[in-house]
Structure 1
Amino acid sequence: MAKSALLKSSLAKKYWMALTGLFLCLFLVGHLAGNLQLIFGDASAFNEYALFMTTNPAVKVLSYVTYISILFHAIDGILLTIQNKKARPVGYAKNNAAANSSFSSRNMAVLGTLLLVFIVTHMANFWAKMHFSEMPLQTVEVNIKDQEAPVVVYKTVQGQPIDPRAVEMGQLELKGTQFFQAGTDLKVADGYKDLHKITVAFFQNEKTGLIATIAYVIAMIVLGFHLSHGFGSAFQSLGVNNPRYKGVLNGVSFLIAYVVPALFAIIPLYIHFIK
């Protein structure tokens, strides 16, 4: 009975839709905080953030919860759409939906489908490369202060010193020989996958950068429409619609539905046109 209610009950589907949707809103805020380092931080800060997000055990657990939530949210939305259509197989003789509902509420399935396509392509372009592809390591300028001698470099990866012998073992790439005059500047890979370089190159590409930037901005507009209805309806589904909280919920809804997507959209625009 419980299993049947979980899979078939329209009310249960709405609860799951609301809970997964609100969790994904929290994910968006956290993801935005990290991505804003592409504007306000430097390459090292962004690459450290990317490394943390792919290696920290707690974050890994949250990542799997996020993947499951996206799939559950998408499947649940499809099932609800089908169920609603079956419940009303014949349209009204006079259909004036625009007068009774918003554009977003009438097109949540379409908006959600477009977002799912964006998520898949976005993960293919960035997430998959970070996890599975050979990527360039971030390089830093190092000044050799000693007299002519073998290079001894003490950089840090997550606060841990790198053994200079890593140069000989091939764990660090040095440009040139291992002997340098005093005062020589040298580029040394410091161990971080350079996702910053990959991201900037993606949006600055001469052939596809503008298209990618426009597509990303359009996706954020779609996200804004989806959230403008979804965030508020999630609280209604959960029964949190007390008039005393209306002002607070409206304020949070504005931030989630408009400010967050707008800030996401600014990032590729900044990279392509300003950076």
Structure 2
Amino acid sequence: MAKSALLKSSIGKKYWMALTGLFLCVFLVGHLVGNLQLIFGDASAFNEYALFMTTNPAVKILSYLTYLSILFHAIDGIVLTIQNKKARPIGYAKNNASSNSAWQSRNMAVLGTLILIFIATHMTNFWAKMHFSEMPLQSEIVNIQGQELEIYKTVQGQPIPANAVQMGQVEIKGTGFYETGSDFKIADGYKDLHKITIEFFKDPAYGLAFTIFYVFSMIVLAFHLLHGFKSAFQSLGANNPRYNGLITTVGNGFAIIVPLLFAIIPLYIYFVK
């Protein structure tokens, strides 16, 4: 009975909203660190990160928890919005909402819906391709005795040496490389998500449009976080004059810096890389 009340009551929903929101903030930081390798790392570093995120058992469990948190956070937010509207079906005769609350706090449902649309689009273009689509393998072109050859990375990330053919370590059979005297195909390696991502944002047809959409979505995320971060701590009872200022400062910094860094990535790819 107590558990049911915790899930169904408005207070219970606010607790779950706060907990899932803060968990997703942690996810954002981890995801940002990996994605920044598109700027500061190379293809190998980013593809190793992508492989780790899709194969490590512990990360898989966290991924499923993240998916559930996103769905629960979105559904919980919609239910809370409906309950709040039902609780106040007739507007006040004199309502000056802008002086009583920030714009983002009055539009969290709209902001959350836009973020959900972005997440669905983002997962379709990248997550789904990484998991379910045929993708190119990471490779690099090397020149061996005047002939261009495509050298593939192995799953462990170890490249075939450029002089491997001369040393007799590998021989060319068809389009791939094989160890001499065996059928182990060296070309079975990293899915090249780095290449897919770069080509997507630089596509002449829709690369600019999606870059703009991505940046717009990060602005929406920033407004959502400006209210959500501080509100989460208040919902959990962390509302004390001694550290409210610190929570607000950290929350505002998080809400600006994290979306900004995310937004820089597609801009850098499209205009610089």
The answer to whether TM tops 0.5 is yes
- Is the CA contact (8 Å cut-off) linking 1:34 and 1:46 kept in structure 2? yes
Q: Per the alignment, do residues 178 and 231 of structure 1 end up closer, same or farther by CA in structure 2, a change over 3 Å counting?
A: closer
Equivalent residue letter for 2:193: L
> For residue 265 of structure 2, what is the aligned residue in structure 1?
267
How many matched pairs? 256
SS in 2 for 1:216: helix
Q: Distance in 2 between matches of 1:48 and 1:245?
A: 40
Q: Distance in 2 between matches of 1:261 and 1:229?
A: 14
> For residue 238 of structure 2, what is the aligned residue in structure 1?
240
> For residue 56 of structure 1, what is the aligned residue in structure 2?
56
Match of 1:219 among 217, 220, 231: 217
- Is the CA contact (8 Å cut-off) linking 2:34 and 2:49 kept in structure 1? yes
Determine what percentage of the aligned residue pairs are the same residue.
74
> For residue 148 of structure 1, what is the aligned residue in structure 2?
none
> For residue 228 of structure 1, what is the aligned residue in structure 2?
226
Match of 2:206 among 208, 222, 242: 208
> For residue 30 of structure 1, what is the aligned residue in structure 2?
30
Equivalent residue letter for 2:6: L
Q: Distance in 1 between matches of 2:241 and 2:194?
A: 45
Q: Per the alignment, do residues 207 and 88 of structure 1 end up closer, same or farther by CA in structure 2, a change over 3 Å counting?
A: same
- Is the CA contact (8 Å cut-off) linking 1:139 and 1:190 kept in structure 2? no
TM-score, scaled relative to structure 1: 0.85
> For residue 182 of structure 1, what is the aligned residue in structure 2?
none
Q: Distance in 2 between matches of 1:98 and 1:158?
A: 56
Deviation at 1:248, TM superposition (A): 3.0
- Is the CA contact (8 Å cut-off) linking 1:140 and 1:190 kept in structure 2? no
SS in 2 for 1:134: coil
Q: Distance in 2 between matches of 1:154 and 1:131?
A: 20
SS in 2 for 1:95: coil
Equivalent residue letter for 1:274: V
- Is the CA contact (8 Å cut-off) linking 2:51 and 2:190 kept in structure 1? yes
Q: Distance in 2 between matches of 1:109 and 1:211?
A: 25
Q: Distance in 1 between matches of 2:23 and 2:13?
A: 15
SS in 1 for 2:91: coil
> For residue 76 of structure 1, what is the aligned residue in structure 2?
76
- Is the CA contact (8 Å cut-off) linking 2:53 and 2:59 kept in structure 1? yes
SS in 1 for 2:195: helix
Q: Distance in 1 between matches of 2:187 and 2:269?
A: 23
| Pairs within 5 Å for 1:10-159 | 10-142=10-142, 156-158=154-156
> For residue 192 of structure 1, what is the aligned residue in structure 2?
190
Deviation at 1:190, TM superposition (A): 6.3
- Is the CA contact (8 Å cut-off) linking 2:153 and 2:187 kept in structure 1? no
Deviation at 1:243, TM superposition (A): 2.5
Deviation at 1:157, TM superposition (A): 2.5
Q: Distance in 1 between matches of 2:171 and 2:17?
A: 50
Q: Per the alignment, do residues 166 and 263 of structure 1 end up closer, same or farther by CA in structure 2, a change over 3 Å counting?
A: farther
RMSD over aligned Cα atoms: 2.7
- Is the CA contact (8 Å cut-off) linking 1:224 and 1:257 kept in structure 2? yes
Equivalent residue letter for 1:266: I
Q: Distance in 2 between matches of 1:8 and 1:226?
A: 24
Match of 1:173 among 176, 187, 193: 176
Deviations 1:182-206 (A, max 9, x none): xxxxxx8461100011111111000
Equivalent residue letter for 2:48: E
Equivalent residue letter for 2:200: F
Q: Distance in 2 between matches of 1:160 and 1:42?
A: 15
Q: Distance in 2 between matches of 1:264 and 1:113?
A: 19
Q: Distance in 2 between matches of 1:229 and 1:84?
A: 17
Q: Distance in 2 between matches of 1:66 and 1:166?
A: 45
